[in-house]
Structure 1
């Protein structure tokens, strides 16, 4: 089913019928097969939609990456408005560098998702920004590239910050669009300040973001083998960079939930996501809790931090024989789960 922004694009499908076009972070996998253009390519920063789109055919027209290579030049592109305005600015800088002079750059998204600020964001590359359509609580803006576009380097958007927590000092690389960009979030802070046991063997940081948890685990116990996973290409990039900053050898996997994770783990740590785009969505974490037992060794454990209002304890108790409330604050609960049922 087409998402609301994609339905708005379909109302304007004649715009995309000629020339070489790039779709950026489409929110569904169906739009590329619905728009009638043989030269339509897609750039994905989220592995779930990339995986679904890839499976529908023409894999050479889909790229999963943190940034799009600027050697390719397009006649037009449309960016689906991300949750973070800073990520939108970064995408505009990246994609504008992939367009021919005079090309069209469109921005589509839900009204409550920040798309109304499109004119201000697009004026860095264009003096002609117009709202060309609105429907289904979404809006579509178009800009003509007529200003000088600077060369794009992803590294220029990276931010490195220091963390000192539970006796460990280390550095983290972050990018706009990565969870809690530029700082450690309160939930992760509570988790790492709990009395957690980091065993030897393979240890998974699920939903790793910029790699805050995974790097801490690897530095705290050098005998552990750290694997980090996330659905976001930006997070995968940052986690690899963070590991390099701290001299750690880790494995970082792009994965929709646990779909791309292989092997067993002695322990899994997570501050799991509960947002998809601008929507609140618990399904990823609920599926993770149901499936994670398949990835644990016989005496493996799961350590999970969550907002107190998220009632995960009942789900955990259905899957594990022992669920211990390791730590609790006014905002967060840390659960230690062991002995898979």
Structure 2
């Protein structure tokens, strides 16, 4: 079954039946086929939906990237409202630069996801923005490009932030839409400030975001092989840039959970996600913990920080013989897990 925003979009399916359209961050893998226009291209910033969409068919229609290249021009585009409003602004700037003059630019999303207030961001490219449909607690807004559009440069949206944690000071690249954009989140700070001795060997930063933990590992243990993984193209881009800033030779990969991670690790570190878009979703972390056995080398350990309300301790104790809380605050617990069953 299609998501509510996609169902709303399908009510205007005739709009997308002809011409070159760009679909941005759809929340479903089948919506492209249902719109039934072979000239539709799809821009994905999330690797899970990208892989699922390619598996459905016509993989040549789909592109996974932090930014869409502006060398191809479209007659119209639809952006699915992201969780971050700053990411929405960046997407509008990127996508508008990919459109023909007077093209249509649409924004669809759930009301609770902020689509109504985000519609005003279309004012940057259009003198008139209209709500053209609403249903299923979602809204669809449309604008016609009639204002000058600047060339898009992703680096203009990047910022560098200074991390002071765990006895180190270093720089990290950040972009709108990446976890805790522009600052160090409390959970990751607790993890870095309370890390036990870092093991040597292959080290994994799972759900790496901008690369805060992975770069710390690389700086603290330069002889180790550090791998960082994330589902987000924006995070993968930032983690790679963060590694360059710190002159680190690390591997950064896009992965749906652990699906695209290869090999075994002497230690895994994570401040795992518990949201998919605006929806609370524990499945990514639960699947990660369940599948970790095949990725840990003998004697391998897991260091995980989580909000206290996320009751991961029972699941960790099912999978590890040793689970200890090595740091706690009123909001977070840092777990150290060893001897996987």
- 1:184-212 per-position Cα deviation (integer Å, ceiling 9, x unaligned): 10000000010422111100000000000
CA RMSD of aligned residues (A): 0.7
- Give the number of aligned pairs: 341
- 1:92-145 per-position Cα deviation (integer Å, ceiling 9, x unaligned): 000000000010000000000010023310000001210000000000000000
- Rounded to whole Å, the distance in 2 between the matches of 1:109 and 1:265 is 39
Give matches, 1:236-251, under 5 Å. Answer: 236-251=236-251
Give the stretch that moved more between structures: 330-339 or 193-202.
Answer: 193-202
Give matches, 1:186-201, under 5 Å. Answer: 186-201=186-201
- 1:299-334 per-position Cα deviation (integer Å, ceiling 9, x unaligned): 000000001111100000000010011111111100
Give the aligned partner of residue 92 of structure 1: 92
Pairing 1:340–2:320 present: no
Give the aligned partner of residue 8 of structure 2: 8
Give the aligned partner of residue 77 of structure 2: 77
- Rounded to whole Å, the distance in 2 between the matches of 1:194 and 1:251 is 24
Give the aligned partner of residue 329 of structure 1: 329
Pairing 1:271–2:261 present: no
Give matches, 1:47-58, under 5 Å. Answer: 47-58=47-58
Give the aligned partner of residue 183 of structure 1: 183
How far off is 1:223 after superposition? Answer: 1.3
In structure 2, runs of 5+ residues without a counterpart are none
How far off is 1:57 after superposition? Answer: 1.1
- Rounded to whole Å, the distance in 2 between the matches of 1:272 and 1:110 is 25
3-state SS of paired residue (1:123): helix
Give matches, 1:69-218, under 5 Å. Answer: 69-218=69-218
3-state SS of paired residue (1:183): coil
3-state SS of paired residue (2:202): strand
- Rounded to whole Å, the distance in 2 between the matches of 1:62 and 1:142 is 23
3-state SS of paired residue (1:199): coil
3-state SS of paired residue (2:124): coil
TM-score (norm 1): 0.99
**Contact (CA 8 Å) 2:275, 2:282: kept in 1 or not?**
yes
TM-score (norm 2): 0.99
In structure 1, runs of 5+ residues without a counterpart are none
How far off is 1:36 after superposition? Answer: 2.0
**Contact (CA 8 Å) 1:198, 1:224: kept in 2 or not?**
no
**Contact (CA 8 Å) 1:82, 1:277: kept in 2 or not?**
yes
How far off is 1:56 after superposition? Answer: 1.0
3-state SS of paired residue (2:9): helix
Give the stretch that moved more between structures: 225-234 or 157-166.
Answer: 157-166
Structure 1 stretches (4+) deviating beyond 4 angstroms? none
- Rounded to whole Å, the distance in 1 between the matches of 2:287 and 2:120 is 39
**Contact (CA 8 Å) 2:167, 2:193: kept in 1 or not?**
no
